[in-house]
Structure 1
Amino acid sequence: FAKFANVNDATSHWPTGEEVFTHLPGTHAHAPLIYVALMTFILIISSVTMVLAVEAGHRMDKKAVIKWMAWTVVGGLIFLGSQVWEWSTFIAGYDGDISTWADNGTLSHSPYGGQWVMGVDAHGHEVKQMVTYGPTLYANFFFFITGFHGFHVFTGVLFNFLVLRNVIRGVYHKRGHYEMVEKVGLYWHFVDLVWVFVFTFFYLV
């Protein structure tokens, strides 16, 4: 995050989240950051369901643990699917949404043949400065930060699923405690907390 903030501050032609992430699935609406806000909401809700699963475990309520753990897994899968859609949209250029503005022109990714389009009065050095997508700094930061976090979300979903399977089998009920649910819950809360920082520093700043 520190490196991202440093490069952001030092680069004159640097896109913002509101410029880049303006798309919604199945629509042509210009909705800056709405989609990623929904992703964030889903992940936060999954953290709430995990709290409820842990609380149910303290009460030795197996059915409630199963219900809330299942919802936590579903929330994680929805978040991961949303992340995949965002990645594919970012790479392909959805309805020209991926674009950067400079003083003398606009650079956008056309959905027709993948052509880069320049505005009038743009010069060669400006083209180089404005190309901040694909194999360049902004995209590199985007894919590394969200990909690294996405990997941990995937790991968390896998852990939650395995624990959920054991809950269904009655493994923890026979032990007389649901400590493992609480342990994976701590990991899941950590993943959610990290996403709050990702959302704040990458999308909002």
Structure 2
Amino acid sequence: MEQAAPAKQNLWGGGKSPFNVEYGKTMMWYFLMSDAFTFGAFLISYGTIRFSSHAWPDPNHVFRSFPFIGEMNVPLAFVTLMTFILIMSSVTMVLAVHAGHQRNKKEVVKWMIFTIIGGLMFLGCQAWEWWHLHHQGAWWGSNPFINIDGTPANINFTNLFFTITGFHGFHVFSGVIINIVMLIMTLNNVFEKRGSYLMIEKAGLYWHFVDLVWVFVFTCFYLF
């Protein structure tokens, strides 16, 4: 009797990539790399236009308002608060991933809730900033601010600002939705049944990427 052919081996090594990294995590890294190229193209375009212009609006003058307070003598105070909130949400995400490694459901739930709250707070801050700038007359195709040398500014500043910060805000919003889904799955014991909280780690990679990109956006628009 002819011997049965051996079963085909999984080329990914039982869910592992050729780099000995779990397949889903590898795909997440590929996605983040492609997304980084998109953000890079946006920021390179910004830098090219910014430094080829003879003058540009002063961010210390443009971004000096604070909710319920109005104009402040301390510039960039509100965006500094936004940045702090987003960075702290990254810290809570690290703690959620660490709790997942320990299979501590209670701690995962707690830190995921804090991460989601941080993301929602950041989005709320960004929404207020957009509303305030729009109230001042700033929007796509409209720039009410003057250049630092007193000359009228063109619309490149506002067009780039709303496009790039809006694209980043969409990523934050997507990250919040992903984190809410991860929280619901945790509460429903999905990861306990799987015996692994690896999905929390994958969501964490995306969230850290969003936070890292904000550092570059913050540097480009608010510091230069």
The TM-score range, normalised by the shorter chain, is 0.7 to 0.9
Q: Which stretches in structure 1 are left out of the alignment for 5+ residues?
A: 106-125
Q: Tell me the secondary structure at the aligned position of residue 100 of structure 1.
A: coil
Deviations 1:73-129 (CA, angstroms, capped at 9, x unpaired) = 0000000010000001111119xxx642565x5xxxxxxxxxxxxxxxxxxxx5xxx
1:4 Cα deviation after fit: 1.2
Q: Contact 1:23–1:30 at 8 Å: present in 2 too?
A: no
% same residue: 51
Structure 2 matches for 1:24-173, cutoff 5 A? 24-28=66-70, 29-93=72-136, 99-101=145-147, 130-132=152-154, 136-173=155-192
Q: Tell me the secondary structure at the aligned position of residue 60 of structure 2.
A: helix
Q: Tell me the secondary structure at the aligned position of residue 177 of structure 1.
A: coil
1:120 maps to none
TM-score, with length taken from structure 1: 0.81
1:15 maps to 57
Q: Which residue of 190, 193, 200 corresponds with 2:209?
A: 190
1:8 Cα deviation after fit: 1.4
1:123 maps to none
Structure-2 separation of matches of 1:16 and 1:25? 20
1:9 Cα deviation after fit: 1.5
Deviations 1:121-177 (CA, angstroms, capped at 9, x unpaired) = xxxxx5xxx143xxx211000001100000000000000000101101111011111
Q: Contact 1:19–1:32 at 8 Å: present in 2 too?
A: yes
Amino acid of the structure 1 residue aligned with 2:146: T
Structure-2 separation of matches of 1:76 and 1:142? 20
Q: Tell me the secondary structure at the aligned position of residue 32 of structure 1.
A: coil
TM-score, with length taken from structure 2: 0.74
Q: Tell me the secondary structure at the aligned position of residue 60 of structure 1.
A: coil
Deviations 1:26-62 (CA, angstroms, capped at 9, x unpaired) = 0132331110011001000000000000000111110
Amino acid of the structure 2 residue aligned with 1:76: G
Q: Contact 1:166–1:172 at 8 Å: present in 2 too?
A: yes
- Higher alpha-carbon Rg: 2
Structure-2 separation of matches of 1:169 and 1:51? 21
1:4 aligns with 2:4: no
Q: Contact 2:96–2:107 at 8 Å: present in 1 too?
A: yes
Structure-2 separation of matches of 1:197 and 1:176? 37
| Aligned residue-pair number | 175
